[in-house]
Amino acid sequence: MSQTPTADQLRNRLVDGILTERGMPSDVERAMRTVPRDAFLPGIELEKAYTDQAVTIKDNPGEPLPLSCASVPSVVAMMLDQLAARPGDNVLEVGAGTGYNAALLAELVGGGNVTTVDIDSDVALHARTTLNTAGYEAVTVIERNGLLGVHENAPYDRIIATVGVWDIPATWWDQLVDGGRLVLPLRWRGQTRSVALTRRGDELVSDGMELCGFVPVIGQNGEKTAALDAADTIRVHYDQDQRVDTDALADTLRADKPARAFLSAQRIGGEESFDGVWLRATADDDRVCRLEVTPEAVKQNLIRRPAAPGRSPALVEDDSLAYLTVTREGIDAERPFRLGAAAYGPRGEELARNLIAHIDAWGAARLAVPQMTVTLSTAGTAPGHVISKPESRISLTY
């Protein structure tokens, strides 16, 4: 008769799995083997506490995403790797969640200081309670709008956000030392990437970014969502600086004309990621949006199936759109799928060919990661293609 595994055994098994899958620095590994995740998830069965998945701690009634959750442990490890916190560092975490990440940060900074902030009183109380129970009383927990930071404990050597951020607040710049690092799940053009940025005077410059998904921060409303059919089964997500005529798009789809299909020269394997197409397109194209198609719309053939129905890149202009598709072809056993575009509307074909150009640019260097440079919006006009937001300006260079 097999024995039920202990919390220590389950925790080490989880960390072993993450090491096998993606690796992590030795200090992050030590912290993750030390901090008991189950202590921050009271009421959750032990096995679930040590699986590589998110756990909701507070629902958000009427909204598709929870108000707060414990992040996926492998994503936690990845972001701590990006942050590169050092012993003695002063660290600010925006989004207290369960308190687990703050405990990991406390292990990483040793004699340094960790401040974690959350806008929700229940979440802040949960974090304070679990941190005390687990022996991390030295972590400071503040109930406040995280977009304001915590000026009284600044300046910080490291700032990490564990909520999706659409714009980088100027307050964070003010509270980050020159040479300090900021890691955040940054949202632009419908996608989210965990971006690691270093402050260099009046710029934040990236040295890495990873695909991720996070609950959006409360208080930033720059992302818009519009239904393109009466049943709300087809949606377009776009940024406030993009001029998207959602009524015209809905009329185009209602016309019930079959999509025109176009194929690129790029093939992929069954497990090969193609999210880099989206990233590549945003570097110089302001028409990139996110298309969301529910399973009901796919089942009813209301629209040609996108590459990833829940989140596919699309180019949108006036009453026309083109979006990424994947078609199975039996020509190449190693890469049996071919990327392409589906087009709707009078300018659909032009948009599809533009999207295929982005696909081909990605195909020429599939693993390339751009460098992101961020400046404050008050710093004046930056050269090259810029994504403008109320408090920051973003540019991507390959």
**Mean pLDDT, each 10-residue run in order, the chain (398 residues):** 86 96 95 97 92 75 57 94 98 96 98 96 94 97 97 98 95 97 97 97 95 84 93 95 93 84 94 94 97 92 92 95 92 88 95 98 96 90 84 95
283 Cβ neighbours under 8 A, 6+ residues apart = 370, 385, 396, 397, 398
Q: At 12, is the secondary structure helix, strand, or coil?
A: helix
Buried/exposed code over 308-335 (b: 16+ C-beta within 10 A; e: otherwise): bbebbbbbbbebbbbbbbbeeeeeeeee
Looking at residue 218, its pLDDT comes to 83
pTM: 0.93
Cα(66)–Cα(50) distance, rounded to whole angstroms?
A: 20
Residue 134's alpha-carbon distances to 34, 207, 245, in angstroms, are: 11, 34, 52
Residue 22: CB atoms within 10 A of its CB come to: 13
68, 71, 74, 194: the catalytic one is 71
Q: What is the pLDDT of residue 57?
A: 66
From the number of C-beta atoms within 10 Å of its C-beta (0-12, 13-18, 19+), residue 111 rates as: exposed
What pLDDT was estimated at residue 392? 95
Q: What is the pLDDT of residue 243?
A: 87
Q: Is 377 annotated in the active site?
A: no
φ, ψ for residue 329, nearest 5 deg: -130, 140
pLDDT reported for residue 205: 97
Task: Report how far residue 36's alpha carbon sits from residue 46's, in angstroms, rounded to the nearest whole number.
Answer: 11
